[in-house]
Amino acid sequence: MQLAYLVQSVSEIISILSSPIIKSQDNLYQSAMLNDASDYTKLKTEKALNCIMENISHTPIDIDELLNWCHVSAQEISAAILELELAGLIQRHYGNRISQILSV
């Protein structure tokens, strides 16, 4: 819903911009933008998670190699690695490497 207003002074502009209708529309727009951004972030993190799990084994692999294979940012790989570490699926090794944890 978009509204048009005829104004003749600065004070009318200020009163319209401070009206509840304008503020509620602005809040809706901001929340929609935040939802889109969080959905995008979740999608990129899921892509990184899937790529890591497809490309690692019990032998440690360099995280830089994963970055080249997965075509995602270092931030996304780091977030995915942290999630997998907290879930107990991977472990870190010296030299910026990770491996899958042996399941018993």
Predicted local confidence at residue 34, as pLDDT: 54
Predicted local confidence at residue 20, as pLDDT: 62
Predicted local confidence at residue 104, as pLDDT: 58
Q: Does domain 11-100 sit in CATH 1.10.10.10? A: yes
Predicted local confidence at residue 59, as pLDDT: 92
80 touches 89 (CB < 8 A): no
**Crossing angle between the packed helical segments 74-86 and 20-55, to the nearest 10 degrees:** 70
Predicted local confidence at residue 4, as pLDDT: 73
Residue ranges covered by each domain of the chain: 11-100
Predicted local confidence at residue 7, as pLDDT: 74
pTM of the model: 0.59
Report which of residues 67 and 18 the model is more confident about: 67
